[in-house]
């Protein structure tokens, strides 16, 4: 067996998220399922693809990482070219490389960075950006920065986790939340782009953090309200919204 | 009657161009037709919308301009808000204003600017940009600039006109062709964006100019080949491609 690491970019708009669904009905279109279909056509057998983590329906990626084990008979396949020739144009392999057999896309990752695009103009969203940004209206950046500082560090993020997935610990370490420029994001000057980096993310944690930051930026919540959310043990019903998936992009998965 | 000027942005991907088609069959989805449908719902009667010009299927706009005449009974309608509430999200009214009755979106325009995005990475196009750029591969900018200089000025552009529309004169004045940054375009750092400004454009003239520039940029044609195309009286069969519609955006229509 030969372990291959894939780096993938995708437009999440028409995908029902990363992960193949457990269902008895029609399988929804997922990124993982789409990549596995292409692999099967190349290898002639079913090959499981392991991602660095799930992304929700509508969430995009510039740098999702995944691995799979290819049979030795396929050792010389040029994976990037071969996969891109078969994949639909809303998912691309941006790099493919043989890796050590103990590389694991999820377990080996040390941190992830997500970016979020807020659309500042309250009157309309530019059609070309409608799948990639969320209309927040004008935002108070300094209030958002103050709230961000309260979230950076090692905390119990249970208050930012949507129900649905059982995890052991809800403690995560957020190393950075800041306004930024991501060259590959295609953001226009109508947008405010923020990023969050952590050693791991709970279910919808990134979207909940950006939902809270938007409310702070709009003046509907105070920066100190971030402390109150950190102090709660579950996602409370609606003191702030979960930011829509379309504004979120997985921009970096790091491996040590 | 009250004349209203509209400024429109649209994502051309799912439109069969600007103009309503003359057909006995099913009307394809056009921007003009979509705006007229929304106007009819507001005004209760059919109102013709006159654009500054046609755009091809797949071509985008940041700043298409149009006008229509509203009945006096609708003088107080807040057109931008009312239309945006009814229009699909791939077309937005970015401004609406009452204008003098002799304003005409096409006849009053003095010049137009189109932008074109070339995708420089030869291996893949980022999925998020697939509807907005054309994969040219690496380009020799200085060769393209030299070819551009040969096209700027008042020339007979018949050699850059695709057949299909009869026009009186094929002489046009191109005032600028240059590499540029357009803040609203959402171009990433993988792209080279160029613009062309002229007092008017023949059918597919902008796409043919950018198709020629791409061939020059790839070294398949020399800058002086631009002179040969200017010297011909019709679009010759394939010394260079017509650049695909998806890379082209109408970014500005000027009125004096």
pLDDT digits (tens, 9 = 90+) for A93-119: 999 999 999 999 999 999 999 999 999
Residue pair B144/B217 in contact (Cβ under 8 Å)? The answer is: yes
Residues in chain B within 8 Å Cβ distance of A84: 123-124
| pLDDT tens digits for range B107-123 | 999 999 999 999 998 88
Task: For residues B117 and B95, give the distance between their C-alpha atoms in angstroms, rounded to a whole number.
Answer: 25
| pLDDT tens digits for range A165-212 | 666 899 999 999 999 999 899 999 999 999 999 999 999 999 999 999
Chain B nearest-CA distance from A63, in A, is 11
DSSP string, A112-150: EEEEEEEE--SS---GGGTTT-EE--S--HHHHHHHHHH
Tell me how far the alpha carbon of residue B93 is from its chain's centroid: 16
Q: Which of A8, A58, A56, A52 is nearest to A34 (CA)?
A: A8
Q: Which residue of B has its CA nearest to A121?
A: B94
pTM for the whole structure: 0.94
Structure tokens that stand for A182 in this block: 């991501």
Cα B248–Cα B213–Cα B15 angle in degrees, nearest 5: 15
Structure tokens that stand for B6 in this block: 């509209």
Instruction: Give the confidence band of A236 by pLDDT, cuts at 50, 70, 90.
Output: low
Q: Which of A46, A32, A127, A164 is nearest to A87 (CA)?
A: A32
Cα B185–Cα B211–Cα B170 angle in degrees, nearest 5: 100
Q: Alpha helices of chain A — where are they, by DSSP H?
A: 31-43, 79-86, 141-151, 205-217, 225-231
Q: Averaged in consecutive runs of 10 residues, what is the pLDDT profile of chain B (256 residues)?
A: 96 97 89 98 96 96 98 94 98 97 97 98 94 97 98 95 78 97 93 97 95 97 94 75 97 96
Q: What are A's interface residues with B at a Cβ cutoff of 8 A?
A: 9-11, 60, 62, 80-81, 84, 89-94, 123-130, 132, 183-190
| pLDDT tens digits for range B143-166 | 999 999 999 999 999 999 887 666
Q: Which of B100, B220, B230 is nearest to B159 (CA)?
A: B230
- H or E segment and range at residue A198: strand A191-198
DSSP string, B135-152: E--S--HHHHHHHHHHH-
| pLDDT tens digits for range A15-48 | 999 999 888 888 899 999 999 999 999 999 999 9
Task: Judge whether B102 counts as a catalytic residue.
Answer: no
Structure tokens that stand for B113 in this block: 């600017």
């Amino acid at each position: 067996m030969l372990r291959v690491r894939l780096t993938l970019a995708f437009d999440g708009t028409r995908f029902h998220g990363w992960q193949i669904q457990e269902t008895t009905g029609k399988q929804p279109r997922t990124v993982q399922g789409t990549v596995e279909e292409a692999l099967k056509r190349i290898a002639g057998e079913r090959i499981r693809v392991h991602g660095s983590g799930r992304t929700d329906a509508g969430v995009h990626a510039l740098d999702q990482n995944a691995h799979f084990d290819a049979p030795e008979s396929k050792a010389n396949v040029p994976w990037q070219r071969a996969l891109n020739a078969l994949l639909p144009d809303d998912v691309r392999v941006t790099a493919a490389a043989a890796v050590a057999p103990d590389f694991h896309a999820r377990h080996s990752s040390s941190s992830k960075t997500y970016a979020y695009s807020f659309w500042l103009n309250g009157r309309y969203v530019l059609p070309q950006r409608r799948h990639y940004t969320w209309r927040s209206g004008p935002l108070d950046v300094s209030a958002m920065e103050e709230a961000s500082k309260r979230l950076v560090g090692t905390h119990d993020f249970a208050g930012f986790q949507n129900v649905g997935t059982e995890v052991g610990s809800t403690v995560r370490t957020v190393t950075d939340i800041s306004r930024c420029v991501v060259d590959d994001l295609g953001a226009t000057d109508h947008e405010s782009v923020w990023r969050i980096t952590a050693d791991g993310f709970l279910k919808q944690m990134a979207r909940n953090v950006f939902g809270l930051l938007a409310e702070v930026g709009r003046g509907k919540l105070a920066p100190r309200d971030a402390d109150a959310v950190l102090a709660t043990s579950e996602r409370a019903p609606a003191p702030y919204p979960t930011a829509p998936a379309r504004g979120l992009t997985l921009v970096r998965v790091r491996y040590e």
